[in-house]
């Protein structure tokens, strides 16, 4: 059974090489994996000998390719070596790992054009941002103090940095998705833009409405509503990752905000002379940089300290007031702060959930103010006023229902 698995793994990877017409194809990869499986069955010395023999095969393959003036077969050589090691794993009795490696290897070989096209589209700034993200996550995070550094136990650098890395990674991934798919319609543009930065998205949509003298009102309306839905979804994901109990205590209102925003975005009242659903370009910069990371971390620590102080001095009302102000500045920071305080036992899940809801509603209110000030289009302002007002009302109703459910359960 181990040898049959090794053979199947080799044939699976070699199928792609055979399809591309490579010299090392289906049978070669099958033999390479089978050789590794035999080495794994017979013992460590035979496994090492099998890998060395594969190295000889790779050298012969590249020598033959260079002699025919076809260049070195680096990708095929790497795939052969990986397949040989995968066969060794099969011979040792592993099942899941070699199968996963085979699927991944076949995917890397098959998606050659897409991966190359994606890498060529990345700018130098985006590449630097990705490297900086890796440095902050794997180099700086391990050396940060794990325990709080203040006498009150509020500032825990490592816990705060985890949240910063989480937000930055989410924003960077969403930015890449927006870059890939954001020109295919305002629905994708508004939603993915809202995941990156809802404030920038709403501002840019409003600018497009003003520049076109109101011809893109219907487009901007849908984009703003979907950006609001994306903001609610992002906050829900943050709560789920940082404090599952806080998410449970805010699930109903966040779901109502998300569903009502999407539902209202689907209601189209386009005028006969209005243009089609053109997707405005959003000049979003890469959301991850040292400045943005430090800015978010400062906001997070500020909301944690001020929120805890407000909770101690003014009770629940103090924390809720801080959440509302945080939503006006950065709803992600306010929500992450509430979830972090809940995870460390400084806030109850109910209070943290309500604070996250208040921050989300405040962010939706900011979207309306931005449209009113930037677009200079009264019809759009009135339409969004009714829509966002309904969304905020449903959110408040959901918060009331959520608290009643929590009281009933307790």
Tell me which of 378 and 312 has the higher pLDDT. 378
Q: Determine contact, residues 355/250, Cβ cutoff 8 Å.
A: no
- pTM comes to 0.59
Asked if residue 137 has pLDDT above 70, the reply is yes
pLDDT computed for residue 85 by the predictor:
93
Confidence tier at 279 by pLDDT (50, 70, 90):
very low
Asked if residue 4 has pLDDT above 90, the reply is yes
Place of tokens 């290897």: 105
- State the first-to-last Cα distance of the chain, in angstroms, to the nearest integer: 55
Mean pLDDT of 302-307: 65
Q: Determine contact, residues 168/293, Cβ cutoff 8 Å.
A: yes
Distance separating alpha carbons of residues 279 and 193, to the nearest angstrom: 12
Asked if residue 185 has pLDDT above 60, the reply is no
Eight-class DSSP state of 351 = H
Asked if residue 151 has pLDDT above 60, the reply is yes
Helices (H) and strands (E) counted in the chain, each on its own, are 16, 0
Confidence tier at 273 by pLDDT (50, 70, 90):
very low
Q: Determine contact, residues 338/355, Cβ cutoff 8 Å.
A: yes
Mean pLDDT of 398-406: 76
Nearest of 136, 156, 163 to residue 336 by alpha carbon: 163
Return mean pLDDT, the chain.
78
pLDDT over 90 percentage in the chain: 14
Tell me which of 277 and 44 has the higher pLDDT. 44
Mean pLDDT of 256-276: 69
Confidence tier at 264 by pLDDT (50, 70, 90):
confident
Place of tokens 């700018």: 123
Helix (H/G/I), strand (E/B), else coil: 345: coil
Cα distances (Å, whole numbers) of residue 385 to 5, 200, 221, 289 = 62, 19, 11, 34
User: Biggest alpha carbon distance in the chain?
Assistant: 81
Nearest of 59, 52, 49 to residue 24 by alpha carbon: 59
CA neighbours closer than 13 Å in the CB half-sphere of residue 165: 18
pLDDT computed for residue 348 by the predictor:
82
User: Rounded to 5 degrees, what angle do the CA atoms 299, 304, 306 make?
Assistant: 90
Confidence tier at 409 by pLDDT (50, 70, 90):
low
Cα distances (Å, whole numbers) of residue 169 to 132, 176, 204, 224 = 11, 11, 23, 23
Q: Which residues contact 207 (CB under 8 A, 6 or more apart)?
A: 374, 375
Q: How far is CA 165 from the centre of its chain?
A: 11
pLDDT computed for residue 210 by the predictor:
77
Q: Determine contact, residues 311/344, Cβ cutoff 8 Å.
A: no
Q: Determine contact, residues 17/25, Cβ cutoff 8 Å.
A: yes
Asked if residue 111 has pLDDT above 70, the reply is yes
Q: Which residues contact 271 (CB under 8 A, 6 or more apart)?
A: 218
Q: What are phi and psi of 41, to 5 degrees?
A: -70, -40
User: Rounded to 5 degrees, what angle do the CA atoms 230, 210, 174 make?
Assistant: 25
Mean pLDDT of 252-258: 88
Distance separating alpha carbons of residues 106 and 366, to the nearest angstrom: 47
Nearest of 13, 288, 315, 316 to residue 135 by alpha carbon: 288
Pair of tokens at residue 136: 């902050």
């Amino acid at each position: 059974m181990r040898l049959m698995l090794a053979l199947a793994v080799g044939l699976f990877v070699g199928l792609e090489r055979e399809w591309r017409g490579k010299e090392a194809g289906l049978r070669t990869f099958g033999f390479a994996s089978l050789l590794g499986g035999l080495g794994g069955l017979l013992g460590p010395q035979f496994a090492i000998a099998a890998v060395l023999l594969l190295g000889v095969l790779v050298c012969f393959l590249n020598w033959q390719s260079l002699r025919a003036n076809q260049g070195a077969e680096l990708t095929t050589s790497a795939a052969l070596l990986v397949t040989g090691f995968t066969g060794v794993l099969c011979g040792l009795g592993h099942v899941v790992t070699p199968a996963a490696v085979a699927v991944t290897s076949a995917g890397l070989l098959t998606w050659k054009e897409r991966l190359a096209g994606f890498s060529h589209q990345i700018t130098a700034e985006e590449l630097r941002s990705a490297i900086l993200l890796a440095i902050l996550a794997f180099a700086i995070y391990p050396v940060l103090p794990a325990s709080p550094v203040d006498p009150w136990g509020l500032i825990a650098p490592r816990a705060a940095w985890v949240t910063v890395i989480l937000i930055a990674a989410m924003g960077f991934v969403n930015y890449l998705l927006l870059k890939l798919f954001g020109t295919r319609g305002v629905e994708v543009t508004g939603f993915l833009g809202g995941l990156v930065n809802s404030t920038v998205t709403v501002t840019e949509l409003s600018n497009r409405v003003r520049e076109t003298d109101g011809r893109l009102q219907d487009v901007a309306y849908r984009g703003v509503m979907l950006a609001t839905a994306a903001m609610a979804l992002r906050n829900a994901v943050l709560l789920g990752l940082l404090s599952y109990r806080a998410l449970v205590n805010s699930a109903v209102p966040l779901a109502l905000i998300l569903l009502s925003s999407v539902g209202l975005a689907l209601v189209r009242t386009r005028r006969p002379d209005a243009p089609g659903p053109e997707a405005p370009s959003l000049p979003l910069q890469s959301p991850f940089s040292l400045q943005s990371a430090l800015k978010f971390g400062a906001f997070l620590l500020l909301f944690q300290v001020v929120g805890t102080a407000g909770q101690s001095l003014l009770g629940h009302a103090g924390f809720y007031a801080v959440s509302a102000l945080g939503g006006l500045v950065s709803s992600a920071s306010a929500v992450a702060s509430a979830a972090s305080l809940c995870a460390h036992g400084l806030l109850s899940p109910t209070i943290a959930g309500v604070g996250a809801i208040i921050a989300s509603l405040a962010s939706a209110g900011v979207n309306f103010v931005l449209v009113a000030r930037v677009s200079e289009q009264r019809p759009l302002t009135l339409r969004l006023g009714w829509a966002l007002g309904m969304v905020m009302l449903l959110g408040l109703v959901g918060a009331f229902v959520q608290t009643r459910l929590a009281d009933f359960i307790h």
